[in-house]
Amino acid sequence: MNIQVITIFPEMFVALTDFGVTGRALKQKLWQFSSINPRRFADNELGYIDDRPFGGGPGMIMQAPPLQAALDYAKQQDSSAKVIYLSPQGKPLNHEKVLSLAHEKALILLCGRYEGIDERILQHNEIEEISIGDFVVSGGELPAMMLIDAVLRHLPQVLGDERSAKEDSFCQQLLDCPHYTRPVEFAGLAVPEVLLSGNHAEIAKWRLEQSQQRTKQRRPDLWQRRENGDS
């Protein structure tokens, strides 16, 4: 998968490219990454790409011309790429959407800043808006990194054991079960006996029951969707 990110803070993405599962996968060439700073397309020497909003109001708005130039450049690198704008006004990112995006060959992620971007960018281009939750952060970089990390986990060979992604929370609309490791006892709490039994059928049964119980208690909305057969 080829991922291009349009951002005025490309250095933030070293968290993905240099560390952890995603960093290792990049070194193994399981995905490709590049960043495009829209400041390079600014029409002024100082690289300003924002201006005051028409109609007044607080903050600044990212201008359409440099963003459009950055989008055009990204599309020239890969015309098949799906374009996504990280925005609190978009549809919430969920497990089903992550799986859908994992089947894309290329993504272009547009990261806004300030009070947002000129609306005409969204009107002029085929762009999907995606939100990571009902809250606002200072820019689209952190949401973009969360989306990238979530998607890459579902690409072949990215995880050491592909069962990890299939058994994560939200698979089959269930939260993950509790996990334990050594020591057997900690702070007066012992590992459940079934996990030490070696009986894989009973362990699988226990884990499913724990997932179901946890989902009912912590995410009744998710459990209801599962009971109703909603996707």
Q: Looking at the annotation, which residues are catalytic? A: 88, 115, 153, 168
Q: What is the spatial distance between Cα 112 and Cα 38, in angstroms, rounded to a whole number?
A: 11
Look-up of token digits 């969920």: 94
- Give strand pairing partners of 62: 50, 117
Cβ count within 10 A of residue 118:
19
Q: What is the spatial distance between Cα 130 and Cα 19, in angstroms, rounded to a whole number?
A: 25
**Residue in 16, 141, 197 with CA at minimum distance from that of residue 206:** 197
Which tokens hold the place of 179? Answer: 């996990």
Orientation angle between helical segments 141-152 and 20-27, nearest 10 degrees: 70
